[in-house]
Amino acid sequence: MQLVYQTSNLFDAHLVKHALEDAGIPAFVFGESLLGAGGELPLFGLLRVCVPDPAKPEADDIVAALGLDEGEAGPICDDDEAPGLLPA
């Protein structure tokens, strides 16, 4: 098995898995059952999407085409312009 995507976001992990499966590549999400655990487990990077060894080059292209790591998804700040109160 080869790692093609790693994340802490369950939605992204399954998005990648389904995109790979739609292309005919078997994909597996490892670490999903560890999300509710605590203690000595790391908080980030638990989810890994893996594919069989021969499918890695094609899977890398599919994951790159999804563009999941592009752009910043920062938190919403108070400095953001808000529409304010709208008339009733």
Q: Is residue 29 part of a domain?
A: yes
For residues 86 and 65, which has the higher predicted lDDT (pLDDT)?
Answer: 65
Place of tokens 């085409």: 65
| CA 70 distance to own-chain centroid | 12
pLDDT tens digits, one per residue of 6-18: 988 888 999 999 9
Q: How many domains does the chain have?
A: 1
Helix/strand/coil for 64: helix
Q: Is residue 12 part of a domain?
A: yes
Q: Is residue 48 part of a domain?
A: yes
Q: Is residue 14 part of a domain?
A: yes
Q: What is the CATH number of the domain that holds 32?
A: 3.30.70.1530
pLDDT tens digits, one per residue of 29-85: 998 876 665 555 555 557 899 999 999 999 999 999 998 876 555 555 555 565 556
Q: Is residue 33 part of a domain?
A: yes
Q: Is residue 74 part of a domain?
A: no
What phi, psi does 42 have (nearest 5°)?
A: -70, 150
Please state the pTM of the whole predicted model: 0.70
Provide the domain limits for residue 6: 2-66
Q: Is residue 32 part of a domain?
A: yes
Which two tokens mark 33?
């059952």
Q: Is residue 34 part of a domain?
A: yes
